[in-house]
Amino acid sequence: MACPERNKKILLDMVKQPSNDHCADCGAPEPDWASYKLGVFVCVNCSGTHRDLPAISRIKSIRLDFWDDSLVEFMKTRGNAAANAFYEKCVPPFYYRPQEKDCVVLKDQWIRAKYERREFTGENNSFQQGYSSGLYEGILWKKGKDNKQFLKRRFLLSETDFTLRYFTKEDSKKPKAVISMKDLNAVFQPEKIGHANGLQISYLEEERTRNLFVYHDNSQEIVSCFNAIRATRFAYLQKVNPNARDSDLVPLITRSSIKEGYMEKTGPTQWEPFKKRWFILNLMDRKLSYFKTSLDALELGAVFIGTEGHGYSVREGQPKGSRSSRWRFGVTLETPDRQFVFLCDQEQDQREWIEAFKLVISQPMLPQHYNTEANMRRMKK
Local mean pLDDT, 10-residue blocks, the chain (381 residues):
75 89 96 95 96 95 89 90 96 96 97 96 87 92 86 95 92 90 95 96 91 97 97 97 95 94 90 92 94 94 94 92 85 93 96 97 90 76 59
* 318 contacts 330 by C-beta, under 8 angstroms: yes
pLDDT of residue 321: 72
CA distance 201 to 186: 4
Residues 266 and 245 in one domain: no
Domain at 278, CATH number: 2.30.29.30
Q: Is residue 66 part of a domain?
A: yes
**Nearest to 79, CA basis, from 31, 117, 144, 118:** 31
pLDDT of residue 2: 61
The residue range of the domain holding 178 is: 131-251
Which H or E run contains 330?
strand 329-334
- 329-334 vs 163-167, strand pairing mode: unpaired
Picking from 235, 251, 267, the residue at the C-terminal end of a domain is 251
Q: Is residue 226 part of a domain?
A: yes
pLDDT of residue 191: 95
Q: Is residue 126 part of a domain?
A: no
Q: Is residue 65 part of a domain?
A: yes
Q: Is residue 332 part of a domain?
A: yes
Which H or E run contains 135?
strand 135-143
CA distance 341 to 344: 10
Residues 95 and 194 in one domain: no
pLDDT digits (tens, 9 = 90+) for 317-335: 988 877 778 899 999 999 9
CA distance 375 to 138: 35
Q: Is residue 228 part of a domain?
A: yes
Residues 233 and 266 in one domain: no
Residues 280 and 170 in one domain: no
Q: Is residue 122 part of a domain?
A: no
Domain count, the chain: 3
pLDDT of residue 346: 96
**Looking at the whole model, is its pTM more than 0.85?**
yes
**Nearest to 247, CA basis, from 94, 96, 25:** 94
pLDDT of residue 381: 59
Residues 352 and 246 in one domain: no
Q: Is residue 357 part of a domain?
A: yes
CA distance 271 to 264: 13
pLDDT of residue 280: 97
Residues 309 and 366 in one domain: yes
pLDDT of residue 257: 94
